[in-house]
Every structure is written in structure tokens, then in C-alpha cells.
Amino acid sequence: MSTEKFSIHIPHDDLHDLNDRLARTRWSRQLPGEGWSRGVPVNYLKELADYWRDGYDWRRHEARLNEFPQFVTEIDGQDIHFLHVRSTEPGALPLVLTHGWPNSFVEFTDLIGRLTDPSAHGADPSQAFHVVVPSVPGFGFSAPPRGTGWTATRVARLWAELMRRLGYDRYGTQGGDFGAYVAPELARAAPDQVVGVYVVSGLGFPTEKDVPEMNDQERAAYTELMQQDWMNGVNHHALLRAAPQTFAYGWHDSPVAALAWMTQKFHEFNATGRPLEQAIDRDLFLTNVSLYWFTGTFGSSAWPYYDSTGSGWPEGQTAVPTGVYSGPPGIRRLAERHNTIVHWPEDNPAGHHFIAMDQPDRFAADMREFFAKVR
């Protein structure tokens, strides 16, 4: 199958339409309650929307995204968009990065150079990677799934075929959020090609049924997990399973509705203790929001939820070695029921759920450390 070069160019009329819709927003009044207790505060969102309209420069960030070599190819009847950034270092290990929800390939904008050119960032050049970043079907510039029945396993098979077409017969795989489900499935799909699976977190997360056999330290980890904002905020799993079409009308028609939804989730996913705009650069956040808006993929990106029957933590796999960026609040003993763990740091800096956007230096360093053990 052919692979075509791809470049982003959003029509000027789409930019004008976005600004016009932002300018004509019909703002809701602020509800009683402190801070974020009722959702995104009106004043916070107004300031962010004003900046999106008058301060944020899409064309500048579009040009930055176009600095990465991009392509489109058809696999299993799906048009798949992907970045393919080769390192100049001999012996670089190919690496597939899988983004999460509600994110996109923008998640890795600040990470890719640290992986392909480690010497430019003070790291060992022998630990370089050729980086492949596919857009999950229904996200960004990848076509929405045709029909129902899609799973992380099916996405992983697409990635295995993509890597075969690119000529890679030995590679690593990384994923966070939804990517933490896809990356292990890629190892299952291509165990003779994948050298290791690296996930941000999520393996060995305890559940209520594990409590009776826990020691005091493990119970403390479970208590910490249950107190996290992302465990107690808007239940997007249930919402997107029940009525994604209903909510997609608002996200597709109103940029402020879309911005509020994204801000709510990125705020809940923020475990840094810092305001969201300090954890993730505001322009980087808005580039991701803008990509969803311009591609109209708020609804189509919901398929991992509406195609599932419930929510559960990723289990992993035993076909190849596994490493994580952060073990806690997962419990290694539980993770080792389904994984061969060779890398389980407990002292990596905490950060945003999308750690590649928050701490790309530390994330890249830890990824190099894991793959040095398996490459």
C-alpha cells in the first residue's frame, strides 16, 4: 500500500470561523461554590478563550507541527496519519509512541527531539530512537473507525503492520492513558519484533477485591489512588459510553464548550499540585484543543469508551519485558501477575497525567534507561 507525505494547512475560513464563534459566545453565569467545585470557573475560561482568540497563533504552531515528517497510509481500510522522525545516530532503536485521550500526537511535540537527538540534550547518543507516532483512528488526521467493534488490540495490529511497512523488524513501544492499553497489545501482536513495552503508569493498580490481601503500605497506596482528582471528577468513561453523540453536538458546534470540556479533563488529570497552565504550556494545550476543533474529532475520538463495556486498568502482557515511568500508586506485586517487570522506579517526579507534556526531559531520560536494559 502507498504511503503519502502529509502536511497540515487549516483553511483561513476555518480560522475566521473559530474566532467569530469565540467572539459570539453566550456565556453562562457563575454558579455558587468555591474554585473548581462546580466545574471550570467562568472567569478562568473567559480569560483562556480570549487568549485563544486574540493571543494564540495557530499558524505558528501549525508550522512547528509541520517540521515533523508526516505521512498517511491505508491499513485495514483505515487512513492512518503518523509522524516518522528518524535519528541520525547509527543503531537508533525504532520506537512507537501511542497517545492517549483527550490528546493527540501533539502530546509528544516536546519529547520527540529528546529521543531522536539525545546528544543535543546532554544524553548518550547511543540511546537514540527512530520515532513513529501514529494518530489513533478517529483522532486528529486519522480517519474515524468504520463501524463498531474497535479495540486496543485492533489498533495494535495496525501499528504492527505500519512498522512492517516502514521496514522495522525490531522496535520498542510506549503508551500512556489509552496508549497503555495499546502498547502491551502491540507486544502480543508482534512478540518477535517488540523488544520492550514502556508505559507511563497504570499497571498493578489495586482494586477493591485486592484489599483483603494488602499490607499496610499497599493499603496506603490504594487510599492515595482513590483520593486522586482523576478518580473523583467527571466520569468520562460512563458519559462517553452512554451518549457520546449527544455531547458531541456541543463540542463540535461551540469552541467554548469544547474548550471547557478539555480544560475540565486536563485539570482533573493534573497531579502536580501546580495550576494547569504551569504544568502544561498554555500554547501546547491550545494546540491540542485546536487540532480537535479543526478536525472535528471530539465525537469520533470517543470510540474507546463507547465501544467498551466498562472501565478497567490495563493489565499488560508477558511476551516481552515491561517498564513504567512511575510504579506508584500501582503495586509491583500486582503488576507482576501479568507482566515481566524489569523497570519500576518509585522516585520519578510526579507530574501531569500527560507527563510528556509536563516533564519531557525526565520522561525521555527514564525511557532511555528502560530501553537500555532491553535493546
Instruction: Give the burial class of 17: count Cβ atoms within 10 A of its Cβ; 0-12 exposed, 13-18 middle, 19 or more buried.
Output: middle
- Confirm whether 305 is a catalytic residue: yes
Of 236, 128, 111, 232, the closest CA to residue 177 belongs to 236
Which residues are within 8 A (CB) of 32 and not within 5 positions of it... i.e. 6 or more apart? 38
Q: Give how far the C-alpha of residue 291 lies from the chain's centroid of Cα atoms, to the nearest Å.
A: 14
Radius of gyration of the chain (CA): 20
Q: Which of 177, 222, 267, 358 is catalytic?
A: 177
Catalytic entry in 81, 99, 236, 353: 353
Bridge partners of residue 343, in order along the sequence: 323
Place of cell 453562562: 28
Q: Could you tell me the three cell numbers for 146?
A: 468504520
Catalytic residue among 198, 305, 325, 358: 305
Q: Tell me if residue 237 is catalytic.
A: no
Cα 251–chain centre separation = 19
- Are the CB atoms for 294 and 14 separated by under 8 Å? yes
Active site residue 76: no
**Residue 45 to residue 65: CA distance in whole angstroms:** 26
Strands 78-85, 129-134: pairing is antiparallel
Positions marked catalytic: 177, 305, 353
